[in-house]
Amino acid sequence: ASSRGITALIQELNRRLGTAFLVITHDMKLAADLGGRTVVLYDGHVEEAGDTRALLDHPRHPYTRGLLQSAVGLNPVRDMWGIRPTTVSYTRQPHGCPFYGRCTQSLPACAGHAPELTAQPDGRLLACNRGGVLTLLECRGLCKAFGRQRVLDGIDLTLYSGEIVSLVGRSGAGKTTLARTLAGLLPLEGGGSVEFQGEAADFAALHRRLGGVQMVLQDSQAALNPRMTVREAVEEPMRLSGCFQDGAAERALEDVGLFACDSFLTRHIHALSGGQRQRVAIARALTMEPALLIADEPTSMLDPSGKANLLRMLKGLQNNRGFSMLFITHDLDSALKISDRLFRLEKGALTRLNPNDYIQVRFDGLFDAG
């Protein structure tokens, strides 16, 4: 029998006879189809439990979210990236959090302290020392106008730790204005508020500390000083902020797929190709270990191969390092491949889009014949 047939049978027996079912599965789509309640286990521990639809729509535990982001059946459009492997420095104590070595928002204390499974206000159960997936940035009622033209009209947007949110829209829709405002490069003068990690955003401080906000601009040629060497350009943010770390520039360059050898480090920015310059700009931002990376049209000046390579590199870095990313683009296809959540900006307002609405080939029923 097909999976769909078994699902229908379980639902029918439950409805007609009141039969209870305990279904053990790795198939997140099956869990979604069955409904009811879902319990998420990791290494023998309950991490999250609650109403299936609520859990799928808004997972609270980092492991639950990782499972949903990795489920092909729920994400037929997007490239799949599993939860990152256990980190090399993983040394969880026997009584520590079981998910510590793979969690991108863990604290050192999590290695030695297992969270209790506690009831949440929404009725679900959750085991996380940090109260679940963290809210990183929140803007409310954001407005912006240039002269008489209102570009942003009461924007509300929340970014969570460790996710990629894409913002699409036509040229001139205000995407870059919103990105620069959230990065603190444009003043909050039209109304609204921006909070970062629960406090009013101090953008001057956020740009100059580790774990803050960094931005990658569309035009890497204009963003980088052509007279600087690669080493000087990549190390500049650390030196200006007083948080220089030996080897950080080399590690960042290697992470973005560039050679951190002396011959490359001493090359001047003007001698690099467009793709190399954009990777240097990303490495420069990564040296500050941002909690939020805002990338404004980072692939718009690259050919299709360069665009694909850069997108996969960005997603791989985000998956392994755990930072959040606001990805600005007018290319819906690219946004569909990389996004955890997707919004359209039009006439100053945000609308959330469902990536699965853009599938052109429907597979439902393909294997059910006979």
Report pLDDT for 290: 95
Give the residue-averaged pLDDT of 300-329.
90
Which domains does the chain possess?
A: 3-126 (3.40.50.300), 135-356 (3.40.50.300)
Burial of 302: CB neighbours in 10 Å, binned 0-12, 13-18, 19+: middle
Q: What is the pLDDT of residues 44-97, one digit of tens each?
A: 999 999 999 999 999 999 999 999 988 888 887 788 888 988 764 556 667 899
pTM: 0.88
Which pLDDT tens digit goes with each residue over 85-95?
876 455 666 78
Place of tokens 């500050």: 288
**What residue ranges in the chain does DSSP mark as E strands?**
37-42, 45-51, 118-119, 125-126, 135-146, 149-160, 164-168, 193-196, 199-200, 213-216, 292-296, 324-329, 341-346, 349-353
Contact call for residues 297 and 222 (beta carbons, < 8 A): no
Residue 370 has a pLDDT of 45
Say if residue 364's pLDDT is above 90: no
Continuous segment of H or E residues that includes residue 324:
strand 324-329
